[in-house]
Amino acid sequence: MNGKMKTARFAAGTLVALGLAWTSSAQTLRLPPHEKVTLKNGLTLLLMEKHGVPIVNLAAIVKAGSVADPAGEEGLASVTAGLLRKGTAKRSAQQFAEDLDFIGAEFGAESGVDFTSISAEFLSKDVDRGLDLFSDALLHPAFAQTEVDKMLAQDIDGIKAAKDEAQSVTLNYYYGYLFGKHPYARSEGGDEISLSRIKRDAIASFYQANYAPSNTILAVAGDFNAAQMRAKVEQALGNWTRTGSPQAAIAAPAVVKGKRLLLIDKPDSTQTFFAFGNIGTAVNDPDRVAIRVVNTVFGGRFTSQLNEALRVESGLTYGAESFFDSRKEPGGFAIYSYTKNESTAQAMDLALQVLARLHQDGVTPEQLASAKAYLKGQFPPEIETSGQLARRIARNEFYGLDDDEINQLEARIDAVTPAVAKQVIEKHFPGDNLVFMLIGKASEIEPVVRKYATQRDARKITEPGFWPPPAK
């Protein structure tokens, strides 16, 4: 199927919208009631009843993401998460899959930058079996050598397969180049070289150090009675005792000064995929709502300034957008688009002009009002389901955000004035300091993109790793 497909979506948590639920009488959006309990072993449990369809969702956060990977063994957190379901003390990998699939349940475990997410979804009638599978994977993974070998081999080939599709690795290269030596430069899944270095012992040690009740937040949302669910969770996870290491603090990444450009050569490319920007903002940034409103005007929806210029008015691309990929410390900001080889410079020049115009002219009151209405109108479906709600409250707990993040959202959006927008543009949107990353046919586009930066670097997409080039 081919769609108009408005704004491209970034899966890396970029456009994680805030969600809410609705109480029609008050005309304000509020989170459904939920409770927070700390179990005796230190695990933080969040419970939210959400009836409608007979589904239960579990969303756990273990406070160790790719930032906890040892240098040279990037991907360790990711591989550890992936192996949780690949055999436990009492189930083989195959048995786990059989038991899970028999009830039509889903189980997922993957590491992000700041934390690892482990989730499950099943029908409410299967809650005992579902909880047993979830706790079995979380508490008793076996890390059998044969499964370790299989997963590492698959992940290495998976990266090569991803590189065959340029747009799927754009952010790996861009963040590598933007963050440099900072841990946020890492690809969560590692690379072809770092994965080949990972040994079973390192996985088991990583698990022992980080997977502990005191390091874990578990949100349960869905069709159940909260008191009964609490008892069931206590039974399933209450005996889990391990003292994990607390998360090590990391420094805030420094804003990049000057201009630099990385060109990744993919010789068969008919389009150039480009991202440019600088360091963005942290999840807890006090300006976060205003940034969201301004970015909606600039590059966060179909009628954004960027998409209007590059798609609607000129037909240079199928989509152009901008986003703040916020993390515990400031994450990346990027302007992203793609265009045919011949129009590479034309599209990039235009995107730069739109950015310069943002600084020069700001946003009009009309654009601001529209963006505010748009954000409020598109908000409710973001936490419509128990799965969305469970992930949302677990994430808020991790980042130390309270319920006002949702309950006060409309008021906070309404409070963004043209003066606030002006400050946000000056403070958070990059000006002359820019990091550029392009994937395309170097023999055609290299001569025309030299002008963007005097410091330039290049690699072939088939060379192992992203950026910086891994030490052999």
Q: What part of residues 379-438 is at the interface with another protein (CB under 8 A)?
A: 380-381, 384-386
Q: Measured from the CB of residue 182, what is the shortest distance to another protein in angstroms?
A: 17
With CB under 8 A as the contact rule, the residue among 303, 346, 407, 433 that binds another protein is 303
With CB under 8 A as the contact rule, the residue among 135, 215, 216, 269 that binds another protein is 269
Q: d(Cα 368, Cα 361) in Å, to the nearest integer?
A: 13
With CB under 8 A as the contact rule, the residue among 48, 61, 100, 290 that binds another protein is 100
Restricting to residues 124-153, which ones interact with another protein according to CB under 8 A? Answer: 150, 153
Q: Measured from the CB of residue 431, what is the shortest distance to another protein in angstroms?
A: 25
Q: Measured from the CB of residue 208, what is the shortest distance to another protein in angstroms?
A: 22
With CB under 8 A as the contact rule, the residue among 118, 137, 142, 171 that binds another protein is 171
Copy the structure tokens of residue 265.
């050569």
Contact at 8 Å (CB) between 75 and 187? yes
Residue in this structure with the two tokens 């240079």, named with its chain if needed: 316
**Binding span for another protein by CB under 8 A among 159-167, 205-213, 282-290, 419-427:** 159-167
Query: How many beta carbons lie within 10 A of that of residue 256, not counting itself?
Result: 18
Q: Does 265 bind another protein (CB under 8 A)?
A: no
Contact at 8 Å (CB) between 325 and 10? yes
Helix (H) or strand (E) holding 252: none
Q: Measured from the CB of residue 401, what is the shortest distance to another protein in angstroms?
A: 21
Q: Measured from the CB of residue 321, what is the shortest distance to another protein in angstroms?
A: 10
Q: Does 446 bind another protein (CB under 8 A)?
A: no
Nearest to 212 by CA among 63, 35, 14: 63
Contact at 8 Å (CB) between 279 and 253? yes
Restricting to residues 3-22, which ones interact with another protein according to CB under 8 A? Answer: 3-6, 8-12, 21-22
* CA distance from start to end of the chain: 43
Residue closer to another protein by CB (options 122, 398) is 122
Q: Does 345 bind another protein (CB under 8 A)?
A: no
Residue closer to another protein by CB (options 230, 340) is 340
With CB under 8 A as the contact rule, the residue among 25, 181, 377, 472 that binds another protein is 377
Residue closer to another protein by CB (options 189, 244) is 189
Walk across the sheet containing 434-440 and list its strands. Answer: 320-325, 332-340, 271-279, 434-440, 259-265, 455-460
Cα separations (Å) of 248 from 114, 251, 279, 425? 11, 10, 21, 32
Query: How many beta carbons lie within 10 A of that of residue 28, not counting itself?
Result: 13
With CB under 8 A as the contact rule, the residue among 69, 114, 155, 405 that binds another protein is 155
**Binding span for another protein by CB under 8 A among 77-85, 240-248, 354-362, 390-398:** 77-85
Annotate 81-116 with b (16+ C-beta within 10 A) or e (fewer).
bbbbbbbbeebebeebeebbeeeebebebebbbbbb
With CB under 8 A as the contact rule, the residue among 225, 235, 270, 417 that binds another protein is 270
Mark 28-57 with x for binding to another protein (rule: CB under 8 A) and - for no binding: ------------------------xxxx--
Residue closer to another protein by CB (options 30, 259) is 30
DSSP string, 84-139: TTS-BSS--HHHHHHHHHHTT-EEEEEE-SS-EEEEEEEEGGGHHHHHHHHHHHHH
Q: Measured from the CB of residue 209, what is the shortest distance to another protein in angstroms?
A: 21
